Amino acid sequence: MPMKRRQAIQSLVGIPAVAAMPLPAAADATTPRVAVETPKTPVSVADAVAGGLPRFFSAEELAALGRLAEILLPAHGVAPGAGQVGVAEFLDFLVSQSPPKRAALYRDGLAKLNAEARRRYGKTFADLTAEQAEPVLQPLREPWTYHGPSDPFARFLAAAKEDVFTATVNSREWAAAMSRRVRSAGGLGAYWYPIED
């Protein structure tokens, strides 16, 4: 086994481990001490100060996803809607990191959203009102089943509904708005660092 750093230093200076420990009883109480605590510098995460830069979906796909998110989870009372918490940009990132199956589900689903909007109204999904979107989103009115719908477009809508919901309630903005009303807002949890040694 390689020697640990502290052990190595101790062996170099030839003192036993216990002697290396501070001995408070022996120290003169009036002697100023050197601070032994090292500073812990508070830092923030990128998401707190900047918006995500979408790189995966095309502009038209992203616009459709943003509109879909707004319709699926609009602002409600003091709770912000999906459109206000950057859900489309976040999902662009998440889907870009996901296995190909999820990426295809989203790409094909967004294409179908726009195709349906064009067929019915001659415009993209991003330009639809919530009322106009209703027949397009009809599959979301079907009762829940364990395996979900077999139709890929219906599967996309079901996935988007869950993902938009999670991405919204797990956002910083939602937590800030809801922390007084919902105890679990902000999802405070025990996070485990990588455990290596």
Partner 1 sequence: MKSDHEVLIIGSGASGGMVAHELTRKGIKCLMLDAGPSVDFDRHRTLKHVYDLPYRGFGRPGRFPHVTQATEFNANVWADETQNPYTYDPADPYYWVRVRLVGGKTLFWGRASWRLSDYEFRGKDHDGFGDNWPVRYQDLAPYYDRVEPMFRVSGRKEGLPQLPDGIFLEDNSPDSQAVERFVASARRMRIPTTKQRRATGELASSVNLLLPEALATGNLTIVSNAIAREITTDRSTGLANGVHFVDRRSKQDYWVGARVVVVGASCLESTRLLLNSGLANSSGALGHYLFDQIYVKNIVTCIVPEARGGRPPRGLTGGGGYVVRFRNLETREKKFLRGYSFDFGSGGTPHPRYFPLYGEALQKELADTAGAAFGMTCMGEVLPRYENHVRINKDVTDAWGIPVLHIQQKYGENEYEMAKDARSVAEELCRGAGFEVLASHAQMVPPGESIHELGACRMGDNPRTSVLNQFQQTHDIRNLFVVDGSSFVSGGCQNPTLTILALAMRSSEYLAEQMRTRAI
Residues forming the site for partner 1 (CB under 8 A): 1-2, 45, 47-48, 71-74, 76, 79, 90, 94, 97-99, 102, 130, 137, 140-147, 158, 161-163, 165-167, 170-172, 175, 186-197
Nearest distance from residue 195's CB to partner 1, in Å? Answer: 5
Which stretches of 34-86 are DSSP H helices?
59-72
Residues of 127-162 as b/e, b for ≥16 C-beta within 10 angstroms?
A: ebeeeebeebbeeeeeeeeeeebeeebbbbbbebbe
Q: How far is the CB of 187 from partner 1 (least distance, A)?
A: 3
- Give the nearer residue to partner 1 in terms of CB position, either 25 or 78: 78
> How large is the C-alpha radius of gyration of the chain?
27
Give whichever of 34 and 188 is closer to partner 1, judged by the CB atom: 188
Closest to 182 in 3D by CA, of 58, 78, 29, 88: 78
Q: How far is the CB of 153 from partner 1 (least distance, A)?
A: 15
